[in-house]
A and B are shown apart, each in its own frame.
Chain A
Amino acid sequence: MSKAIRFAPLALLLLVIVALVWRLATPVDTNVHSKLAGRPVPFFTLAAALPTKPTVSSTDLATGQPRLVNIFASWCVPCVSEVKVLQSLKSRGVPIDGIDIRDRPADLTDFLARNGDPYERIGSDPQSQLQIALGSSGVPESFIVDGKGIIRYQHIGAIQASDMPMILTKLEQAK
């Protein structure tokens, strides 16, 4: 048996190992990339969630400056902690609109009174129809919409305090 043949398995093994090492060393991208990023917000109008607050419609989202659209509900537990993060985003001048999913006005008033109200406008989506149109599968989720009404980023789950720099950068890029 020639030397080349005898060493061939070893060479093949090396090749495979190198590929596997490379694969282990490359972190897997676990972020979900939204198919809606880069597309305009679907046309919608919503009823106001509360008599005291204006509602959101798709035309309100193309006002020349980027906005954060937050999908939430008073019955959603992670939303409670997310409100605090939204408050500090608001204090840095980020305009935030809310879309309230399958909720009752009394519960919503209660929720805002207890946890704070970062929203400029809140629209009510009692059948999750807008939520589905936006490709959102849960509460909370947030969308960054640029000044022309184009979706730039979809955030799945609550925005944590540690996500704030990333969100602010994305908002900056959307200008």
Chain B
Amino acid sequence: MIAEAGLAALWLAAGLAAYQFLLMILALRSNLEVARPMRAVAVVQGGLTLVAFAMLLLVFARSDMSVALVFENSHSAKPFIYKVAGAWGNHEGSMLMWVTILAVAGAFLALFSRRTTERTLIAGLGSQAVLALGFYAFLLFASNPFARLFPAPMDGQGLNPLLQDPGLAFHPPTLYLGYVGLSVAFSLAVGALLTGEVDSRLARAMRPWVLGAWILLTLGITAGSYWAYYELGWGGYWFWDPVENASLMPWLAATALLHSMNVLAARGALKAWTMMLAVIAFSMSMVGTFLVRSGILTSVHAFAIDPQRGTFLLVLLAIYVGAAFTLFALRGASLKEGAPFELVSRESGLVVNNLILSVILGIVFLGTLYPLFVEALSGEKLSVGAPYFNAVAGPLALILAVLVGVGPLLSWRSERRPVFRQLRVPALLGLSALVITMILAPDIHILPRLGFVVAAYLIAAAVLPLVGRNPLRAPLATWGMVVAHLGIAVALTGMAANAAFSSERLGIAKPGDTLSVGPWLVQLEGVTPTAGKNFTAVEAELRATRGEGAVILNPQTHYYSDPPTETNESAIRTFWNGQLYTVIGKSDASGGWQLRLWWKPFVTLIWAGGALIAMGGALALLGRIWRRRRLSSGEWRRKGYA
């Protein structure tokens, strides 16, 4: 009964979404009175999807093997937390989660949005309903999560053991919240293009959504990067894998949108560009979902390869993005650009920021899809890897990081003050970083060296907006910006240190043997068999020392039976100046064991930087909400706050 209740809730929600869309058309054609029930409809629709999702969680929690999805992805011997997380660790469940977030975001928009005009809100809610409608159809006709099996099997087929990790419980939901949060920006942009009301009020209405989505995307990407780092046992933090790129592309677009939105909110300029970015940001989320779910690009993440589902998603993508682009093409001409600005100004700084981010986005997009085009034209199979992305996107990212230090110092419209004098200290720091790395590490590659230089400069430059004023009286949003920009410098330091100074050792060791890696001596004390709830394992005991004291690390290899799979559980020890990363592999005939050891100086700064960037976003979001509470909306508008 539970599964049937979930399915019924899904059908009802789909019906309401259709009704909501109809209301929008009627309201925009005749009068707005028609759309009075719209907010309530949106809220109920969101509630129904929550019910459907709760039902799915319930059948997974109870291991109801008569539901096909549970049978395929769960097992009664699995730990409870992974049974529940299994609900969205598969195609159908994750699409249900996607549509639930989409509908709930629509409900929140209906409940809390007071910034835009009623007309634009109605158009936006209508757009959100159409988005949801397509994904309801996809679920109900092409991937029903509640399909039954008769007769019910005895037990399930398990879950990919790689995904039996606490990371799974939070990584996909975080990314999905980010992806789908961008749908609201998309819908508001489409709504405003429909009504022609593209103005600073719209930008302010969009801002909390884009900020929220961007924070979650940042967290999701950072967490996903760490997950891949410790779970896959390859010692890398970013592989330029198509699925990773699928999450990076919406983030790049959202980052650009975040900045151009501020120009629209404060100065009423960059209207067309901001609308375009709002459309592109969510389009990139859909492209990402399509790439992941259609299995069109082979990747370590390839989940489900099913051309029929791929076709369905592609049709949705074509309709939504095509409609939005068409609307943009038709209405773009009527958008009056706002207040003009001079060559050196905050606006122009943000334009350059947007241009560079867009070019990086284009590079990632091209690199991800290039193999498809080549195969279409020449039939040759190839893959684009890290060398391309690092060589092309790396220098651009460094230039952007330099400008990150300059932009916030400029004032709106035109800059008359000698701001560049303020940058003397940061520039000096960058120069000394160059000299120091030249002396201490003359052989490192140019890109990590420049990374150190730019990071040293940016650490000082990022805090300049707080210098020369009372930092405690600076708006929370300014603090957020400073923290986020500092996060870039911190992450950059980690990446440069990892690229320049990592040492790797791959060797065979018998119990008692010692291998060296970086400053460490690692001795294999012994290998013992062990077992977990649903796997057997071998565990190595490693004794690592670099002079004083010693630490024990216990990397494991897990053997799962349902399905038969092997995973390497790395053992990582974090120190203030880096991480020791150890993996145990197979044994050879003579009783030796493969060991992979890495010493990665300051690698943790990469994720610390990511967390700082997200925290900066959170501060900015808090600042906006807090200040909005303090001022009534009328006062807000009169004062013309950005």
List A residues at the B interface (Cβ < 8 Å).
1, 3, 6-7, 9-10, 13-14, 16-17, 19-24, 27-28
Contact = CB atoms under 8 A, between A and B. Distances in A.
B369 A17 contact: no
A22 B325 contact: no
Nearest to B337: A1
Interface in B325-341: 325-326, 328-329, 332-333, 335
B10 to A, nearest CB: 26
Given A1-B272, A1-B332, A20-B314, A10 B307 contact: no
Interface size class of B (residues with CB under 8 A): 20 to 34
Contact of B325 (A1, A9, A19, A21): A9
Contact of A7 (B276, B305, B329, B372): B329
Interface string B201-223: 00000000000000000000000
A10 B326 contact: yes
Contacts of B314: 17, 20-21, 24
Nearest to B290: A20
24 contacts: A1-B272, A3-B329, A6-B328, A9-B276, A9-B328, A10-B325, A10-B328, A13-B321, A13-B322, A13-B325, A16-B369, A17-B314, A17-B317, A17-B318, A19-B369, A20-B314, A20-B372, A23-B372, A23-B376, A24-B294, A24-B296, A24-B310, A24-B311, A24-B314
Contacts of A19: 369, 372-373, 376
A22 B375 CA distance: 10
Closest 4 CB pairs of A and B: A10-B325, A6-B332, A6-B329, A9-B325
Given A13-B321, A19-B369, 12 more contacts: A1-B272, A3-B333, A9-B276, A9-B328, A13-B325, A16-B369, A17-B322, A19-B376, A20-B290, A24-B294, A27-B307, A28-B305
Interface in B268-298: 272, 276, 280, 290, 294, 296
Nearest to B331: A6
A10 B322 contact: yes
Contact of B375 (A1, A10, A16, A23): A23
A39 to B, nearest CB: 22
Nearest to A8: B329
B340 to A, nearest CB: 15
A28 B318 CA distance: 23
A1 B198 CA distance: 15
Contacts of B372: 19-20, 23
Q: Is the interface of B mostly helix, strand, loop or mixed?
A: helix
B272 A23 contact: no
Nearest to A11: B325
Q: Which of B280, B321, B325 has the most CB of A within 10 A?
A: B325
B325 to A, nearest CB: 4
Q: Which of A1, A7, A17, A28 has the most CB of B within 10 A?
A: A1
B449 to A, nearest CB: 37
A7 B276 CA distance: 12
Nearest to A15: B373
B369 A24 contact: no
Contacts of A6: 328-329, 332-333
Contacts of A10: 322, 325-326, 328-329
Nearest to B371: A23
A107 B335 CA distance: 83
Contacts of B326: 10
Contacts of B318: 13, 17
Interface in B588-639: none
A16 B305 CA distance: 20
Nearest to B307: A24
Contacts of B333: 1, 3, 6
B532 to A, nearest CB: 28
A1 B332 CA distance: 7
Contact of A22 (B276, B322, B376): B376
Nearest to B276: A9
Contacts of A7: 329
B419 to A, nearest CB: 31
B296 A20 contact: yes
A13 B294 CA distance: 18
Contacts of B376: 19, 22-23
A3 B322 CA distance: 16
Contacts of A27: 307
Contacts of B325: 9-10, 13
A129 to B, nearest CB: 14
Contacts of A13: 318, 321-322, 325
A20 to B, nearest CB: 6
A13 B325 CA distance: 9
B112 to A, nearest CB: 31
A23 B296 contact: yes
Nearest to B381: A29
Contacts of B310: 24
Contacts of A16: 369
Contacts of A28: 305
Nearest to B314: A20
Contacts of B294: 24
A168 B332 CA distance: 64
B314 to A, nearest CB: 6
A34 to B, nearest CB: 17
Contacts of B307: 24, 27
A27 B325 CA distance: 30
A11 B314 CA distance: 16
A3 B335 CA distance: 13
